[in-house]
Amino acid sequence: MAQVEADARAVEAASVSFVEAARLAALQEMRRDHRVWVLGEDVARGGLFGQYGGFLDEFGPDRICSTPISESTIMGAGLGAALVGTRPIIEMRIFDFAMCAMDELVNQIAKIRYMFGGQAKPAVVVRMPFGIWRNSAAQHSQMLEAWFAHLPGVIVATPSTPQDEAGLLVSAIRCDDPVIMFEPKLLFTDKAPVADPIEPIPFGEASHLRHGNHLTIVTWSSMVPRCREAAEELQAKGVEADLIDLRTIWPWDRFAVCNSVARTRRLLVVHEAVSAAGFGAEIVAHVTETLGPGALRAVRRLGAPRVPVPFSPAIESEITISRDRIVQVALDVAGKAAA
């Protein structure tokens, strides 16, 4: 306990990593509410990325429960515990493993509040580290957040900074509905100051990162830093981009996106996931339906090709969305020729 408290004080005024920001958010909420607890593989040992480091010493095995390697058991146990009044944090270690627990997540957790007429309260948080990360290959690199935005009954959070990870995780833990946290492994070492105490960030409220008049760029999660870099390069080329980080893709901030596109009349959606049937298509469709096709001068989506993520570093780089690719497509959308 003393070590955990010392760690928290030490980072209070300093920049912390994405992983540490999440650790502090979970720590804060577990101290605030005795009903919050954690279950998953290796969580008592601190978790795969150290996201629960020191928790066992402070909270004990009743609230930090390492489980067998059985994702369906973990997911189902979390739901059962939520239905009797606790607030479990379900740790999936790597998103791809959640495929073993799809019935519990899709048919049970997402549906049970509706099917019981609102009497059941599936207050679970499912943490899913996801995305491309150091040549982890096809079964450890997937980006399927659009699947879950398509699923009625769940909230889908896609943070891109330590501050947003911490604030959204606090909101998720306090929420009475199931929340899926898609945590980008690629950004786990990124650092930024995180306030103490950590305030909750509302779901469905985008972050407006830059203001510009030439085009609107909408993105989330691991693509946010690259879009920031691209926007800076675009500025040097005389193109001012309006840059929006959605932070949650369900609910998502339709108002912010439509307001921006109504002004710029040019839209580029950038995501790490496969373009085909990705969430970018939902954004483009909604904007077109809301503003009317005549309101738009140019629209593009930029995502990965529909192929498994390869192990080969060289081929993985080929399918990864780069800053240069974003700049190239943004110039096209803005109606500017590349230099």
| Contact by Cβ (8 Å): 167, 200 | yes
DSSP character string of 284-323 = HHHHHHHH-GGG-SEEEEEEE-SSPPPS-HHHHHHHSPPH
| Contact by Cβ (8 Å): 103, 72 | yes
End-to-end CA distance of the chain: 58
Tell me how many helices (H) and strands (E) the chain has: 13, 14
Q: Which of 171, 177, 156 is nearest to 112 (CA)?
A: 177
Q: Residue 93 and residue 67: Cα distance in Å, rounded?
A: 12
Total count of residues recorded for the chain: 339
Q: Which residues are catalytic?
A: 140
